[in-house]
Structure 1
Amino acid sequence: MSTTAVFTVEGMSCGHCERTVTAGLTALSGVTNVTADAKAGRVTVESTEPLQDDQIRSAVTGAGFALVGRA
């Protein structure tokens, strides 16, 4: 079973930012796809496991950005 969630992320402004957030989130267990959109300030995460907001927040913060919450 696949889970998809969209999160609002502050601080992304370019393609490099998108790649940095994507790399951090892709490293999480079960994550199969990440689509980051700097212009919209959103990140879509697909996973085979339930998505834990605290894990998403930790990965986004570790990448240097701020997770606002689920969109």
Structure 2
Amino acid sequence: MTTQTNSTSCCTPAGTCGTGGQADVQGGVTTVYKVTGMTCGHCEGAISQEVSAIPGVTSVKAVAATGLVTVTSTGALDDEAVRAAVDEAGYELAGRA
């Protein structure tokens, strides 16, 4: 038996999932960045806290194991603002993933 699922997915092209899929459906922008120097949960939290403070950011998911930071925002982000936030947290933005 085949089960049909809802065609709206909460998964991003980067392969991350969340229950906040509505933001993406309503026009949110998801951008994935590569950050160097993350090694643990504390690193993830520090980066998430700083990047979350950027106006328009609605969610941040940092993963130390991959070095990826997925940012969802209400519009396009200024990469230099993201770079400054990551720098403030004590890490280095390598660029978009």
User: Alpha-carbon deviation of 1:50?
Assistant: 1.3
CA RMSD between the two structures: 0.5
Higher relative contact order by CA 8 Å / sep ≥ 6: 1 or 2? Answer: 1
Unaligned runs of 5+ in 1: none
For residues 30 and 75 of structure 2, what CA distance do their matches in structure 1 show? 10
Write 1 or 2 for the structure with the bigger share of strand: 1
Q: In structure 1, which of residues 38, 50, 56 is the aligned counterpart of residue 82 of structure 2?
A: 56
The one-letter code matched in structure 2 to 1:41 is G
Residue equivalent to 2:54: 28
For residues 34 and 4 of structure 1, what CA distance do their matches in structure 2 show? 10
Say which SS state the counterpart of residue 33 (structure 1) adopts: strand
Unaligned runs of 5+ in 2: 1-26
The one-letter code matched in structure 2 to 1:48 is T
From the CA coordinates, give the structure whose radius of gyration is larger.
2
Say which SS state the counterpart of residue 32 (structure 1) adopts: strand
Residue equivalent to 1:45: 71
For residues 88 and 95 of structure 2, what CA distance do their matches in structure 1 show? 15
Deviating beyond 6 angstroms after TM superposition, the runs of 4 or more aligned structure 1 residues are none
User: Identity over the aligned pairs, expressed in percent?
Assistant: 48
**How high is the TM-score relative to the length of structure 2?**
0.72
**How high is the TM-score relative to the length of structure 1?**
0.97
For residues 16 and 41 of structure 1, what CA distance do their matches in structure 2 show? 13
